[in-house]
Chains A and B, each alone.
Chain A
Amino acid sequence: MEMLWFWLVSVMIAIYAVMDGFDFGAGILHHLVARTDTERREVLGAIGPYWDGNEVWLLAGGGSLFLAFPKVLASGFSGFYLAMFMVVWTLILRGIAIEFRSHVADRMWRGFWDFVFTFASVLLPVLLGAALGNVVRGVPLDDSGYFNIPLFTHFGTHNPVGILDWYTVLMGVFVLLTIASHGALYLAWKTEGAVHERARKVALPMWVLTAVLGGLATLATAYVNPDIYANLPNAPLAWIGLVLFLGGLATVFWGQLRRRHLLAFIGSAAFIVGLLAATAACVFPVMLKSSLDPAWSLTAYNAAVSPHGLRAGAKWWFLGFPVAVAYFVFLFRIHRGKVKAASDGGGY
């Protein structure tokens, strides 16, 4: 049961990364690929129907973490206190920017919200990437299962650590680039005209950079947390993740060169899922690693709620999950085809 919930939470985080990833990617590239108001409304129109639902995967994933592993939620959220609120504020600003921008047809108003949208879309992947970096590097959990670290200290990976150090910032930049490249492929798929052309052109060099940085991040991870790869031989899921990761990357380049944009986008989704799956399989069962003493780490086994709670939750989870997926299938079906900014000014 504990293992099942570890994977259910991981699945939701992976779906979140893929889904909200494409609308964040569109936000990062907003100023780059869209110059006129009509073009910017195409970008917003391409993500408008989905972004709110995409973000729910984060909240639902957090809810599932709460349900199954409240100790991890309590320790992680309070330990990363300031960074958590930066995430919250960024999410608030971004949501408001998307929803409020098109209410007023005024250049100054829209220019302001365009800036806020891009700013928030850039900041959040860096923060989430840094969070992933913290999970891999470990945090100074004490024997009570709690910690609290500042935003930064000396930028080194040894204690006293901060949330930001050279490794977590590297992870942040890697995630930022991955998400931006992912968004470029989404826009290339869903738009046409100038936005499509620009998105298509930036995608290739960005993916080359992502692959290079990915290699760098892998080496850095081996340096910061050598144990992580020690699990590799006996973690079959990690191998599947690795295959997805590399296969996804190949599909991205192949789809790009063949101009099959949906295929390339699916490749980049596989790349992200593979990366997260491999990471999850390598760290399992550790969810929050203690850098002070491995025995103090929070794992899927010592942080879980009672087996009865896990079973009860699993029953309705498997009822609700297909319904949630069905909503998205419905959404993508009714919005199929390329996005056009409504000529009468309606919509985003």
Chain B
Amino acid sequence: MSDPVFWHRLQFGFTATYHYLFPQLTMGLALFIVLFKLLARRVGGERYQDAARFWIRIFGISFAVGVVTGIPMEFQFGTNWARFSQRAGGVIGQTLAMEGLFAFFLESSFLGVLLWGEKRFGRRVHDLAAWALFLGSWLRGYFIIVTNAFMQHPVGHRVALDGTFQIASLFTYLLNPWALVEYAHNMIAAVVTASFVVCAVGAYYGLRDVHQDQAKIFLRTGVVVGLLASLLVAFPTGDRQGKLVAAHQPAALAAMEGRWNSGTWAEINFIGQPDVPNRRLDNPLRMPGILSFIAYGAFDSNVKGLSEFPPDQWPPNIELLYYSFHIMVGLGTIFIALMALAAFQLWRGALAKSRWLLWVLLLAFPFPYIATTAGWMTAELGRQPWLLHGLLRTRDGTSHLVHSGETVFTSLGFAGLFVILGFLFVYLIMREIAHGPVPHGTSATH
């Protein structure tokens, strides 16, 4: 526990995980806001404008927390991962600087207009601001994902004489195949989160018999977008992501499935507990051939087990990696089933009346957050023990002169600060939801 690497990882993992609770909602909501604005123009009527206004208020609160919790991310490259930054800065500095210049400025300039500018600047400028925020936040996502994809699957670089990594081809780096798949998978997952939140608020109003008009819009849009996104996040994006892991991080794939020995007709484990010291999986519930199919597209293909790799290349936390992967996949499957059921009821015109289903939709909103977090933990734990896969080990990337007394101090500081931020966020969001999507100007506090 006094190992400095442990604290550097814990602090970055904690702050990154916490931070990402907010952008995943805002990036998804940005799409919904643009969608509501388009519907307002096509279908007409103030109802969609009211829907857009309501979600802009939620967006604003979530965005603010996302911005401030994102600041430590930028700093921690230098403060906690100095040797990594020094060696990889010649490559990843490109995208981190692009993020600032191309995405941050776009978002921050139009945020105020989107939040407070509708009356003052009129509808056209306001619509423009909605598009700017959508574009800015989705662009920013791309630069971050390219940076992460370089850590997962380094391309476009060369190793200089002094051991640093330098950019060899900016385009190869920017168009990393891993980044394209990871980006699609991640952004669609953000849409899943947002659509579950939109559905949950619709279900909440529906169950309470308030704001019926808006409840219907939220449920209808949320379910349709939610079903599409839940399908797309699994196939093709999740599937492609799995194949990339199989091709480039075979040890990670073996650990994700708790697979010790190689063989054809590799089975997928639905449930089971990995027993790492004894190299086995307890109480498995499995189906043969599926993992082979997922990894290589053929049921009889050979999937390597961990015993094929030297233990110093195994992900060090196999248990957590295994559960993260299974939670992500399990929840993703449940999302498709739930959204398909809701879509069926919607098509029958029975969604608003099925109170039990509304209850399920209401209570379901935390699960996409859990699935997304589990997905990122799968990616990041699976990458271990590497910081740059195959090139630089995590323990060689820390700030070696920063001692644990400093990192424990700052980790605790973040824990305290983020607890308070969480309470404030929940309080303000609950107020907005209680206030409801009522027409502009009817409340003194907005």
A interface list, Cβ under 8 A from B: 48-50, 52-53, 55-56, 59-64, 66-71, 73-79, 81-82, 84-85, 87-89, 91-92, 95-96, 99-100, 103-105, 145-148, 305-306, 308-309, 312-313, 316-317, 320-321, 323-324, 327-328, 330-331, 334, 342, 344-348
* Residues of B with C-beta under 8 A to A308: 166-168
Residue in B71, B83, B85, B113 whose beta carbon sits within 8 Å of that of A92 in the complex: B71
> How far, in whole Å, are A153 and B446 apart by their CA atoms in the complex?
49
Determine if B105 and A327 form an interchain contact, defined as CB atoms under 8 angstroms apart: yes
Residue in B77, B166, B170, B431 whose beta carbon sits within 8 Å of that of A66 in the complex: B77
Stretch at the interface among B283-291, B338-346, B347-355, B402-410: B402-410
Smallest CB gap from B441: residue in A = A344
* Residues of A with C-beta under 8 A to B170: 312
Q: Tell whether B307 is near chain A: CB-to-CB under 8 Å.
A: no
Smallest distance from the beta carbon of B77 to chain A beta carbons, Å? Answer: 7
When A48-B112, A62-B74, A92-B417 are in contact, do A81 and B64 touch as well, CB less than 8 Å? no
Determine if A346 and B119 form an interchain contact, defined as CB atoms under 8 angstroms apart: yes
When A77-B78, A85-B410 are in contact, do A321 and B101 touch as well, CB less than 8 Å? yes
Residue in A62, A148, A330, A345 whose beta carbon sits within 8 Å of that of B109 in the complex: A330
Could you list 18 A-B pairs, sorted by A, with CB under 8 Å?
A59-B104, A63-B93, A63-B101, A66-B89, A66-B93, A66-B97, A67-B97, A78-B78, A79-B401, A92-B69, A92-B72, A92-B417, A96-B424, A99-B61, A103-B428, A313-B97, A328-B109, A346-B116
Smallest distance from the beta carbon of A89 to chain B beta carbons, Å? Answer: 6
Q: Tell whether B399 is near chain A: CB-to-CB under 8 Å.
A: yes
Smallest CB gap from A150: residue in B = B406
Given A63-B98, A67-B89, A73-B89, list of 6 further CB < 8 A pairs?
A61-B100, A67-B97, A73-B78, A148-B399, A331-B109, A345-B444
> How far, in whole Å, are A147 and B402 apart by their CA atoms in the complex?
9
When A52-B111, A74-B86 are in contact, do A313 and B94 touch as well, CB less than 8 Å? yes
* Residues of A with C-beta under 8 A to B166: 305-306, 308-309
When A53-B109, A60-B101 are in contact, do A334 and B121 touch as well, CB less than 8 Å? yes
Smallest CB gap from A330: residue in B = B109
Determine if A70 and B105 form an interchain contact, defined as CB atoms under 8 angstroms apart: no
Q: Tell whether B99 is near chain A: CB-to-CB under 8 Å.
A: yes
* Residues of A with C-beta under 8 A to B444: 105, 345
> How far, in whole Å, are A69 and B111 apart by their CA atoms in the complex?
31
* Residues of B with C-beta under 8 A to A342: 116
Determine if B96 and A309 form an interchain contact, defined as CB atoms under 8 angstroms apart: no
* Residues of B with C-beta under 8 A to A76: 78
> How far, in whole Å, are A241 and B160 apart by their CA atoms in the complex?
37
* Residues of B with C-beta under 8 A to A66: 77-78, 85, 89, 92-93, 96-97
> How far, in whole Å, are A327 and B105 apart by their CA atoms in the complex?
7
> How far, in whole Å, are A79 and B65 apart by their CA atoms in the complex?
28
> How far, in whole Å, are A144 and B80 apart by their CA atoms in the complex?
17
> How far, in whole Å, are A56 and B201 apart by their CA atoms in the complex?
33
* Residues of A with C-beta under 8 A to B83: 74
When A104-B445, A305-B89, A305-B90 are in contact, do A89 and B102 touch as well, CB less than 8 Å? no
> How far, in whole Å, are A66 and B88 apart by their CA atoms in the complex?
10
> How far, in whole Å, are A305 and B168 apart by their CA atoms in the complex?
12
Smallest CB gap from B101: residue in A = A320
* Residues of B with C-beta under 8 A to A87: 75
Determine if A71 and B428 form an interchain contact, defined as CB atoms under 8 angstroms apart: no
Smallest distance from the beta carbon of B406 to chain A beta carbons, Å? Answer: 5
Number of B residues, CB within 8 Å of A: 72
Q: Tell whether B125 is near chain A: CB-to-CB under 8 Å.
A: yes
* Residues of B with C-beta under 8 A to A78: 78-80, 82, 399, 401-402
Residue in B94, B402, B445, B446 whose beta carbon sits within 8 Å of that of A312 in the complex: B94
Smallest distance from the beta carbon of A278 to chain B beta carbons, Å? Answer: 26
* Residues of A with C-beta under 8 A to B421: 92, 96
When A56-B104, A91-B71, A103-B431 are in contact, do A74 and B82 touch as well, CB less than 8 Å? yes
* Residues of B with C-beta under 8 A to A103: 61, 428, 431, 445
Report B58-75 CB contacts with A as 1/0, cut-off 8 Å.
001100110111011011
Determine if A91 and B100 form an interchain contact, defined as CB atoms under 8 angstroms apart: no
Determine if B101 and A334 form an interchain contact, defined as CB atoms under 8 angstroms apart: no
Determine if A73 and B77 form an interchain contact, defined as CB atoms under 8 angstroms apart: yes
Report B413-446 CB contacts with A as 1/0, cut-off 8 Å.
1000100010010001001000000000100111
Within 34-83 of B, Cβ neighbours of A (below 8 Å) are at 60-61, 64-65, 67-69, 71-72, 74-75, 77-80, 82-83
Can you list the 5 inter-chain pairs with the closest CB atoms, starting with the nearest? Answer: A70-B89, A77-B78, A60-B100, A63-B97, A78-B399
**Residue of A68, A308, A323 most packed against chain B (CB within 10 A):** A308
* Residues of A with C-beta under 8 A to B64: 95-96, 99-100
* Residues of A with C-beta under 8 A to B65: 96
> How far, in whole Å, are A103 and B435 apart by their CA atoms in the complex?
12
Smallest CB gap from B78: residue in A = A77
Determine if A71 and B86 form an interchain contact, defined as CB atoms under 8 angstroms apart: yes
Smallest CB gap from A98: residue in B = B64
Q: Tell whether B261 is near chain A: CB-to-CB under 8 Å.
A: no
Residue in B79, B89, B106, B160 whose beta carbon sits within 8 Å of that of A81 in the complex: B79
Report B355-377 CB contacts with A as 1/0, cut-off 8 Å.
00000000000000000000000
Smallest CB gap from B90: residue in A = A305
Residue in B75, B85, B117, B160 whose beta carbon sits within 8 Å of that of A306 in the complex: B160
When A52-B67, A105-B445, A320-B98 are in contact, do A60 and B406 touch as well, CB less than 8 Å? no
Smallest CB gap from A344: residue in B = B441
> How far, in whole Å, are A327 and B410 apart by their CA atoms in the complex?
35
Q: Tell whether B248 is near chain A: CB-to-CB under 8 Å.
A: no
> How far, in whole Å, are A61 and B399 apart by their CA atoms in the complex?
22
Determine if B109 and A88 form an interchain contact, defined as CB atoms under 8 angstroms apart: no
**Residue of B105, B401, B410 most packed against chain A (CB within 10 A):** B105
Q: Tell whether B279 is near chain A: CB-to-CB under 8 Å.
A: no
* Residues of B with C-beta under 8 A to A92: 68-69, 71-72, 417, 421
When A49-B112, A77-B75, A346-B116 are in contact, do A82 and B104 touch as well, CB less than 8 Å? no
Smallest distance from the beta carbon of B117 to chain A beta carbons, Å? Answer: 8
Determine if B100 and A89 form an interchain contact, defined as CB atoms under 8 angstroms apart: no
Determine if A63 and B71 form an interchain contact, defined as CB atoms under 8 angstroms apart: no
> How far, in whole Å, are A68 and B91 apart by their CA atoms in the complex?
10
Determine if B108 and A52 form an interchain contact, defined as CB atoms under 8 angstroms apart: yes
Smallest distance from the beta carbon of B25 to chain A beta carbons, Å? Answer: 16
When A70-B93, A96-B68 are in contact, do A59 and B410 touch as well, CB less than 8 Å? no
Q: Tell whether B400 is near chain A: CB-to-CB under 8 Å.
A: yes
* Residues of B with C-beta under 8 A to A50: 112
